[in-house]
């Protein structure tokens, strides 16, 4: 059984969809652990320490997918991909605000899902930047190697997407960047989605880093850090 790329936990109550996702991820070299409920998914994540979690929103029992995202984010920065039949903007924004790194709606292409998983893992495990780099913008310090962010000396947990966005902004501090530039830089040029995803993540960065983050909105253009 191929598991060279690490473990992914798939939390999905529909066995047909779970098996489909499982098959494509294993074919691509991942080890897959399935869970059919939010509570089982949480236990699997705690037990397996996966590289990424795929979560369906509409889970049975007391803990649905959004509850699971909220619970995971309270104790972990593991990347999360939401897989759901709910394609409304409210659900998408809520999922991202709760810390999901990507949002894939059903029906979906299993190949696209695997491509998105690999893209997230490339970013979270990137070795392209200098290993010892510490990026500083005001009271915010970004440790690129450890993927840690401190605001005025205090460690601030960020999702993988939030970290990548903040790092890209810091690498171009002082410049005004459009939403498309930020998507290309932090999500990757092949990412397809709503530009407003950037706004959601900017809002989360401002919420988490507070006054330590000097991130300005340039109306009609984009954002500028520093």
The rounded distance, in Å, linking the Cα atoms of 5 and 23 is 14
Lowest mean pLDDT of 10-19, 66-75, 118-127, 136-145, name the range.
Answer: 118-127
More confident site: 172 or 208 = 208
Query: Across the chain, what does the average pLDDT equal?
Result: 85
127 CB-near residues (< 8 Å, 6+ apart): none
Q: Where are the domains of the chain?
A: 7-124, 134-225
Q: What are phi and psi of 185, to 5 degrees?
A: -80, -40
The pLDDT of residue 91 is 65
The SS3 of residue 55 is: strand
> In this structure, which topology does domain 134-225 adopt according to CATH?
Arc Repressor Mutant, subunit A (1.10.10)
The pLDDT of residue 131 is 39
pTM of the model as a whole: 0.59
Q: What are phi and psi of 190, to 5 degrees?
A: -90, 0
Confidence of residue 125 (pLDDT cuts 50, 70, 90): low
Query: pLDDT for 54-66, tens place per residue?
Result: 999 888 888 888 8
Measured CA angle at 187 (ends 6, 107), to 5 deg: 75
Residue with tokens 């037990």: 47
The pLDDT of residue 17 is 92
- Domains 7-124 and 134-225 in one fold: no
The rounded distance, in Å, linking the Cα atoms of 35 and 31 is 14
Query: pLDDT for 2-37, tens place per residue?
Result: 445 789 999 999 999 999 999 989 888 888 999 999
- What token pair was written down for 58? 């509409």
- What token pair was written down for 215? 């991130």
Asked if pLDDT for residue 205 goes beyond 60, the answer is: yes
More confident site: 204 or 5 = 204
221 CB-near residues (< 8 Å, 6+ apart): 176, 178
The pLDDT of residue 86 is 67
The pLDDT of residue 88 is 63
The rounded distance, in Å, linking the Cα atoms of 166 and 184 is 13
The pLDDT of residue 2 is 43
Pick the CATH number of 7-124 from 3.40.50.2300, 1.10.8.640, 1.10.3720.10, 3.20.20.10: 3.40.50.2300
DSSP per residue over 148-211, as a string?
EEEETTEE----HHHHHHHHHHHHTTTSEEEHHHHIIIII-TT--S-THHHHHHHHHHHHHHGG
């Amino acid at each position: 059984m191929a598991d060279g790329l690490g473990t992914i936990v798939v939390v999905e109550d529909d066995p047909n969809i779970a098996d489909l996702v499982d098959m494509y991820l294993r074919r691509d070299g991942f080890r897959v652990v399935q869970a059919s409920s939010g509570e089982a998914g949480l236990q699997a994540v705690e037990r397996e320490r996966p590289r990424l979690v795929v979560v369906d929103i509409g889970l049975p029992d007391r803990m649905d997918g959004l509850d699971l995202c909220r619970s995971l984010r309270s104790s972990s920065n593991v990347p999360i991909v939401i897989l759901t039949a709910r394609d409304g903007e409210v659900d998408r924004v809520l999922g991202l605000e709760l810390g999901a790194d990507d949002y894939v709606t059903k029906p979906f292409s299993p190949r696209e899902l695997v491509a998105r998983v690999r893209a997230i893992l490339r970013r979270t495990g990137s070795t392209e930047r200098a290993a010892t780099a510490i990026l500083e913008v005001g009271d915010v310090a970004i440790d690129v190697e450890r993927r840690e962010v401190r605001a005025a000396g205090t460690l601030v947990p960020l999702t993988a997407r939030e970290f990548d966005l903040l790092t890209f902004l810091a690498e171009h501090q002082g410049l005004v960047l459009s939403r498309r530039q930020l998507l290309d830089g932090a999500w990757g040029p092949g990412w397809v989605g709503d530009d407003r995803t950037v706004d959601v993540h900017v809002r989360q960065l401002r919420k988490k880093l507070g006054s330590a983050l000097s991130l300005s909105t340039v109306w009609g253009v984009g954002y500028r850090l520093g």
